Amino acid sequence: MGTDRTLRHLFATAVGVGAHVVASWTIAAAAQPTQRPAALTVDARASTAPQRYAASLFDSIALPPGATRISTPIAPLRPVTGSPGFVRLTTVVRYYDVAPSIDVISFAKSRFPATEWEGTGTTYDGYHHSSVAFAALPLCPDRHVAYCSVTYSVRPLLEHRQELRVDVALVWLPVVVVRLPASGVVTVTGFDSISLLHASSGAVRVTLTGAQVDALRKAVASLRRSPGGECMEDSLLYRITVATTAGGRVIWSASADECPGVLTVASNAPPVSLNDRSCPLDRLVSTFFGPTQATGTRAGLRHCQPS
């Protein structure tokens, strides 16, 4: 995860400077009854079966040709990469016997998009072994899954054999559905300059159509929870606010950062962290700004994750 996010940071830092963008649209407040500012609901379907779900994913994971599952490790492996350190991480591990002629690392890389690669490592810890890890959120369609990864680790053995370890790791959280208030003035703020060293700056204001606000409400409501994470550096990508009137009291707000990629929602309900790197959301937010507006925000939003 860190390598990909670092590359995004370096890319975002190079973006220039400019004006302050605020996109706003007033939602027919007069026609709406009084609403609670916060619209946060928790899905009661929260499952207690992350272990079973992780195990079921092995039916969808690509394995090298002729790989034979073994119940007991021949020589237990420790992955070199693919350990994000998340709280509530569930991991299911399986071992396989693989022909020595197969380059397992290259095989694994050919089965996942380059954007999902999390790192490759090789070490000698009593024996030579290598690992490659992928953040495979599309492999885990259940919205309870906030993070999903697959790690392949391999080591050569005597007798012309290889031992393969495959780890499926996921963070399983209760589903939270966040909804924008039904009335008020919705504002989206983007930036021409997003920087690791200075506060995001620069700005333009555009007015969203009613259809754009409806699309934003739908996109936010479909987001998964964020697994969290820590970054050495960060930048603000954009901000969403809902006020009672233009220039009035803010009753709902959310801020999206670049790393670890969290949309932090603040309202009368407890704050909640969502995954702001969802491609549908990122692409939608990009359309709110013109081709020469919010250049920093739009550049940062190009590096999204499939939902």
CA 41 to chain centre: 21
Residue ranges of domains in the chain: 2-45+175-300, 50-172
Which tops the pLDDT comparison, 288 or 200?
A: 288
| Greatest C-alpha distance within the chain | 78
Binning the chain into helix, strand and coil, the percentages to the nearest 5 are: 20, 35, 40
Which two tokens mark 77? Answer: 């492996």
Instruction: Give the CA distances from residue 68 to residues 79, 103, 106, in Å, rounded to whole numbers and listed in that order.
Output: 19, 16, 19
Lowest mean pLDDT among 236-240, 277-281, 294-298, 300-304: 300-304
pLDDT at 141 exceeding the cut of 80: yes
What are phi and psi for residue 173, nearest 5 degrees? -130, 155
DSSP H or E stretch at residue 303: none
pLDDT at 30 exceeding the cut of 70: no
Q: How confident is the model at residue 146 (pLDDT cuts 50, 70, 90)?
A: very high
When pLDDT is averaged across residues 276-288 and rounded to a whole number, the result is 92
Q: How far apart are CA 203 and CA 222, in angstroms?
A: 28
Which tops the pLDDT comparison, 38 or 179?
A: 179
Instruction: Give the CA distances from residue 251 to residues 135, 209, 223, 240, in Å, rounded to whole numbers and listed in that order.
Output: 35, 21, 21, 11
Which tops the pLDDT comparison, 181 or 13?
A: 181
In this prediction the pTM is: 0.75
The string over 137-166, giving b where at least 16 C-beta atoms fall within 10 Å of a residue's C-beta and e elsewhere, is: bebbebbbbbbbbbbbbbbeeeeeebbbbb
Share of the chain above pLDDT 70, in %: 81
Would you say 258 and 300 are in contact if contact means Cβ atoms under 8 Å apart? yes
pLDDT at 36 exceeding the cut of 80: no
Share of the chain above pLDDT 90, in %: 42
Which tops the pLDDT comparison, 25 or 279?
A: 279
Burial-class residue 104 by CB neighbours within 10 Å (0-12, 13-18, 19+). buried
